[in-house]
Structure 1
Amino acid sequence: MTPPPPDSAWLAAVSRWAGAPVAVTARTPLAGGYVAAAVERIDLDAGGHPVAVVLKRVQPSEVAAMRALAVVPGVDRPRLLATGHDGHGAWLLLPFYPGAALDGGDVPAAVWDVLGKVHTHWHRRRARGIPVVDARWWWAMVVGHTLPAVRGAHGRTGDPRLAGIAELLEAWSTDARLRAALALLPRTLTHGDAHRGNVLLATDSAVLIDWGNARVAPAGLDVATLAAQGAPAPPGYAAPAMSPALREVERLWAQVQVHVQYLGFAADHLGTERVVEMVDTAARALDALGPALAAASRG
């Protein structure tokens, strides 16, 4: 297992944040999910007061995302306390936000507020060090991640529907409508994986955590991810300015993107019926995307 960075690399930063010298009192491994290689909660004593932080081994793109998040006015959670790189890779240090993941109901307004501010601040700007969702990225995602999972599910189940879906995905990987949409739509900084499990109901405010899948992409990616879980954007979400015709292109593209993006997970964990349902949703959106692109070009 990859070792954590030495305490000397980050203790001074925590002392500045806490306003007092700190000492480690306990360490607890946390689940790392699909992105972080190792995650650890560290409890500390700060001049007689308890504080807790999270130390993560991460990909460099997550460091870049946290730095990009830090410059957005009005966004202070999750807060980057320290970062570094050693012989074992990059690491991040963040405050520990106690609370449970959102498992139902409405997404708190604080999360939509953060998304709106991030999407607007980085609208038509590229945050360095973060992957860009373009035609090449889309092809690599479909061919490198989604297709192998669907083919694996077909191998396990023998369901002929999965074989047909694999053929469909091959065609979608180079679909001209999706390429045209990605060439047309403005991009911004997106969370890239803004599902309910990454919404933490902290004691004083909700926090959108785990920016390891951050992407430079159309803002609709984050909106569609939550909408697919029954949490559409509320009226208070401040989307970047865009014409109605272009907004419709973004909405339809995002429906395709999100349902294909999570198709590999569905194939591995949710069963064939859910895979078929997601592909049907994506196919309907893709069918509508062509006319929407034509309308946007006329506008």
Structure 2
Amino acid sequence: MTAPPDAAWLPAAARALGGAPVVLDRTPLSGGYVAASVERLDLDVAGRTVPVVLKTASPVEVAAMRAVNVVGADAAVLAAGDGWLLVPFVDGAPPADGEPAPDGVWASLARIHAHWWRKRPRGVPVVDAAYWRSLCDRTLVAVRGAAARTGDPAFGEVADALASWRDDPRMAAALAVLPRTLVHGDAHRGNVLGATLIDWGNARVAPAAVDVLTLSGVPGAVAPAAYTAGFDAPPEFADVERAWADVHVHVHYLGFAADHLGAARVTEMAGIAARGLDALGPALTPHRTRSAPDRP
């Protein structure tokens, strides 16, 4: 996708910003994998300079950002249209290595999870058993490609494991009982700028632990107080959700790891997923005779 023409977004920007904007400067922005075009724009609005970001966006990201706007969270969108988003420019940098995500990010995420708990925003895909199988299939392409490219047998071993996990009944059983909410879906440190979680192109309706685990970067993570103060999910499914998330999140990133991080990291991540799957069976036992919760 190319950048949207000015005529597509300027009228919406005028309504959002309270005056007709004039573009003073454009700066292409790099980084990330979701958008084909991202620009910082410095706009003059009634004599004040307003920095914004204009980006191409998938229908899913547009739908997700509109859902985020309903909550009034820090990642709010100024204007949105067919294939584009206009959002405030965030002058910040991701947390340094070893530094936790800021409390403001956790608090914003909690508001989003709480608002959309057991609800599905229109236009955002649901993580269900079919989605899990398609995720495994996509990941298998990358892992098998790494095996063919490098000849390292470790990639083949991980591919065999993935093929068996694709139809593992424990993953389907977990998704049959776990409540869902709107999740960012890719809440790693590179998508944190200052106190804002950016780039919602991988948003999904899924168990909240997807974001908790990814943002914390720790397998089996428990959310910090800054999150639980705004959203403290019922504890009934906590063990199931943590184990499920250890599997799902590490499989989600295995394709990237196979392309960029090498066999040792892929093997490590697959090991974490395997241990999560082992923990999932016992965690599910108390719920096997119960009916599924309200969807999503």
Q: Normalising by structure 2, what TM-score? A: 0.91
2:248 to 252, 257, 266: 257
- The whole-number CA distance in structure 2 between the counterparts of 1:213 and 1:147 is 19
Deviation at 1:67, TM superposition (A): 0.9
Conserved? CA contact 2:100–2:216, under 8 Å: no
Distance (whole Å) between structure 1 residues aligned to residue 75 and residue 182 of structure 2: 15
CA contact (8 A) 1:103 1:197 kept: no
Q: Deviations over 1:181-213 (max 9, x none)?
A: 011101110000001001101xxxx10110110
The more displaced of 11-20 and 181-190 is 11-20
CA shift in 2, pair 1:243/1:298, >3 Å: farther
Deviation at 1:232, TM superposition (A): 5.3
Shift of 1:260: 0.6
1:173 has 2:163 as partner: no
Structure-1 residue corresponding to 2:57: 58
The answer on 1:68 being equivalent to 2:67 is yes
- When the two chains are superposed, the root-mean-square deviation of aligned CA atoms in Å is 1.8
CA deviation after TM superposition for structure 1 residue 12, in Å: 3.1
CA distance in 1, matches of 2:42, 2:260: 34
Equivalent residue, structure 2, for 1:115: 109
> Contact 2:132–2:166 at 8 Å: present in 1 too?
yes
2:49 aligned partner, one-letter code: P
Alpha-carbon distance in 1 for matches of 2:287, 2:217: 24
CA distance, structure 1, for counterparts of residue 200 and residue 254 of structure 2 = 20
Letter in 2 for 1:35: V
Return 5+ residue gaps in structure 2 as ranges. Answer: 291-296
| 1:271 equivalent in structure 2 | 262
Contact kept, 8 Å, 2:73 with 2:111, in 1: the verdict is no
Task: Name the CA distance, whole Å, in 1 between partners of 2:54 and 2:222.
Answer: 32
Partner of 2:131 in structure 1? 137
Deviation of residue 32 (structure 1)?
Answer: 5.4
The aligned amino acid for 2:113 is: H
Deviation at 1:229, TM superposition (A): 5.2
Which residue type is aligned with residue 165 of structure 1? V
Identity, % of aligned positions: 56
Deviation string, structure 1 residues 127-166 (Cα, Å, up to 9, x no partner)? 11011100100100111x2111111111122111211111
Provide the secondary structure at the position in 1 that maps to 2:110.
Answer: helix
Selected match of 2:223 from 227, 233, 238: 233
Aligned to 1:82: 79
Contact 1:119–1:240 (CA under 8 A) maintained in structure 2 = no
Say whether the 8 Å CA contact 1:32–1:39 is kept in structure 2. no
Match of residue 103 from structure 1: 96
The Cα shift of 1:298 comes to 6.6
Decide which of 187, 194, 197 is 1:194's aligned counterpart: 187
For 1:243, the equivalent position in structure 2 comes to 235
- Out of 264-273 and 20-29, give the one that drifted further: 20-29
Q: CA deviation at 1:110?
A: 0.8
Distance 1:3 1:177, change over 3 A: closer
Aligned CA distance change for structure 1 residues 117 and 76 (closer, same or farther; 3 Å): closer
User: In structure 2, how many angstroms separate the alpha carbons of the residues matched to 1:294 and 1:65?
Assistant: 34
* CA deviations over 1:221-267 (Å, ceiling 9, x no partner): 101112335885212322453234x1100000000011110001111
Deviation of the 1:8 alpha carbon: 2.5
User: 1:195, 1:229 within 8 Å by CA — same for their partners in 2?
Assistant: no
TM-score, reference length from structure 1: 0.90
Distance 1:164 1:171 in 2: 11
Using the TM superposition, name which of 154-163 and 2-11 deviates more.
2-11
